Amino acid sequence: MPELPEVEITARLLDSALRGAVIESALAPGINALKTFDPPLSELSGRQITAVRRRGKHLILQSSGGLALLIHLMSAGRLQLYDKLAGPRDRTSRLLLRVAAGAGDADAAGAGAAAQPRELRLREFGSKQAAWVKLLAAAELEQDAALATLGPEAWPEPPPLAELLDAPRPLHTLLRDQHVIAGIGRSWVDEILWLARLSPYKRGGDLEAEEAARLRDAVLEALGGAIAHYEQTVQLPIPDKLPMPLRVHRHQGEPCPRCATTLQAVHFEDYVIAYCPTCQTDGRVLKDRRLSRLLR
Ligand SMILES: [Zn+2]
C-alpha cells in the first residue's frame, strides 16, 4: 500500500540514482497502464532524467525537453530500478524504462561500476491491474486532473487542520480524501488517529482547536517518522514488500503500544480500521459501518 512515506522514499532513492541519466528506451508492455497516447512513450528516448519527485501519492519523473511521466502506484504497484538487465522476467512489469549510465552513477555505485544500462520498472502485484502512467508536457502537469484536484500536502508542511477538516464527515474518511489532504491512505490514517488519541468516527467539524493541533502534530510525526525509518532501512531496488513500521494498523488483537488495552478492529465501508478503545474512544467499542449495510 504505497502512501506518502513509501512514495517519498521511492522518489528520493530514484532521484539520487537517476538524475542526469539518459533514457534509452521506454515501453509499456501492459497497454492499459498508459493513459495517454500523445506524445508517444518513444518520445522519451534520448532524453535526460532531470528529477524524480512526489506529489501526494503520485510519482513524477521529469525529463529534458519538457516531458514528465506521472505515475500512480495505486494499492499494489512498485517502481523498481534494477542494476543490470537481469531483473525478473515476469508479467508484472507495466512500464519499462531502459536507462543508460548517467551522471549520478559514479556516486551511487562507486568507482569501477561499469556504465551498465539499468531498467526502471513499474511492477504491480496482486490481481487488480490499477497502477497507471501518463506522459505529459511538463508545462501541463499541474493542470492534469489527477494533480489539479489534490488537496494540500500532508507532509512536510500541512496547513492548520481545523479549517481543512471542517466538515460533517468522519476523520477517518476526511484524512484519506486526497481532495482534502494529499498523501494519507488506510494504513497511515490508523497510526495518525491513534497518535492523536482521536476516534476514527469523530466528525471533522467537531474538532476542538486543541484536538486539531494535536492531529496535525500526529500527521507530521507518523509520516515524518516513517520517512526517517525508510531512510535508514530501504535501498534500491525498492523491495516487493516494503516493511511498513506500523504499530496499530493490522495489529488488532494485540496490546496497544501505549496503554496495553487490546487493539480493536471495526469494519468501515469496505475496509478495516484498527484503534485503541482506551486511547481513542473513551473505552467504547465502535460499531461496524459496512458499505453493504449502509446501502441496504
Ligand atoms: Zn491505548
Taking the centre of ligand 1 as the mean of its atom positions, its distance from the CA of residue 222, in whole angstroms, is 16
Q: Is 20 left (phi over 0), alpha (psi -120 to 50) or beta?
A: left
Taking the centre of ligand 1 as the mean of its atom positions, its distance from the CA of residue 205, in whole angstroms, is 24
Q: What angle do CA 222, 194, 184 make, to 5 degrees?
A: 45
- Residue 43 corresponds to which cell in the numbers above? 518520445
Q: What is the pTM of this model?
A: 0.92
Taking the centre of ligand 1 as the mean of its atom positions, its distance from the CA of residue 253, in whole angstroms, is 12
Given this model, what pLDDT does residue 269 score?
Answer: 82
Q: How far is CA 61 from CA 37, 72, 142, 183, 209, in A?
A: 17, 11, 13, 18, 39
Nearest to 43 by CA among 148, 142, 138, 146: 138
Taking the centre of ligand 1 as the mean of its atom positions, its distance from the CA of residue 169, in whole angstroms, is 24
Q: How confident is the model over 189-247, as pLDDT tens digits?
A: 999 999 999 999 999 999 999 999 999 999 999 999 999 999 999 999 888 888 999 99
CB 116 within 8 A of CB 87: no
- Residue 196 corresponds to which cell in the numbers above? 492523536
Taking the centre of ligand 1 as the mean of its atom positions, its distance from the CA of residue 207, in whole angstroms, is 20
Taking the centre of ligand 1 as the mean of its atom positions, its distance from the CA of residue 201, in whole angstroms, is 16
* 182-81-191-188 Cα dihedral, nearest 10 degrees: 30
Q: What angle do CA 106, 7, 72 make, to 5 degrees?
A: 110
Taking the centre of ligand 1 as the mean of its atom positions, its distance from the CA of residue 273, in whole angstroms, is 15
Taking the centre of ligand 1 as the mean of its atom positions, its distance from the CA of residue 215, in whole angstroms, is 16
Taking the centre of ligand 1 as the mean of its atom positions, its distance from the CA of residue 262, in whole angstroms, is 8
Respond yes or no on whether the N-terminal peptide bond of residue 277 is cis (omega within 30° of 0): no
Question: What's the number of CA atoms in the CB half-sphere (13 Å) around residue 106?
Answer: 2
What is the CB neighbour count within 10 angstroms for residue 50?
19
Given this model, what pLDDT does residue 109 score?
Answer: 47
Taking the centre of ligand 1 as the mean of its atom positions, its distance from the CA of residue 259, in whole angstroms, is 4
- CA–CA separation, 237 and 87 (whole Å): 10
Residues in the chain: 296
The pLDDT profile of the chain, 296 residues, written as one tens digit per residue, is: 799 999 999 999 999 999 999 999 999 986 689 999 999 999 999 999 999 999 999 999 999 999 999 999 998 899 999 987 656 676 778 899 999 975 554 454 444 445 678 999 999 887 778 999 999 999 999 999 999 999 999 999 999 999 999 999 999 999 999 999 999 999 999 999 999 999 999 999 999 999 999 999 999 999 999 999 999 999 998 888 889 999 999 999 999 999 999 999 999 888 899 999 999 999 999 988 876 555 54
Taking the centre of ligand 1 as the mean of its atom positions, its distance from the CA of residue 258, in whole angstroms, is 5
Taking the centre of ligand 1 as the mean of its atom positions, its distance from the CA of residue 206, in whole angstroms, is 22
Taking the centre of ligand 1 as the mean of its atom positions, its distance from the CA of residue 276, in whole angstroms, is 5
